[in-house]
């Protein structure tokens, strides 16, 4: 199980970097953020589908401690992104991008 988790952890950021690095170079910060949030929503959809076919009851009722920490971190990062959309600054300059 830990080997499969290590593969997922190593492979997922590689695909994100392939899209986000060129998006940031082009100055399309919104595209980079949308890619990250879209990937997170897709992962949540996969988890919901897995929960339908899990025979041991609710999938979220049997997490390991490490998975709980990862899920909590993902929820906090998504909440921070949503707060950034709600309270968007008038002028934004991230890494020199405007």
What are the pLDDT digits (tens) for 28-87?
888 888 887 888 778 778 888 888 888 878 877 777 777 788 778 878 887 887 787 777
Residues 6+ positions from 56 with CB-CB distance below 8 Å: 62
pLDDT greater than 60 at residue 8: yes
| Domain residue limits, the chain | 2-86
The reported pLDDT for the residue numbered 95 is 62
Phi, psi of 77 (to 5 degrees): -65, -40
The reported pLDDT for the residue numbered 49 is 84
């Amino acid at each position: 199980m830990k080997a499969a988790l290590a593969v997922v952890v190593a492979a997922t950021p590689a695909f994100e970097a392939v899209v986000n690095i060129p998006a940031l170079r082009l100055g399309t910060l919104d595209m980079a953020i949308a890619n990250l949030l879209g990937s997170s929503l897709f992962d949540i959809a996969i988890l919901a589908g897995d929960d339908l076919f899990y025979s041991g009851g609710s999938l979220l009722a049997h997490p390991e401690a490490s998975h709980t920490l990862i899920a909590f971190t993902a929820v906090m990062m998504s909440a921070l992104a949503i707060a950034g959309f709600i309270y968007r600054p008038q002028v934004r300059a991230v890494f020199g991008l405007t």
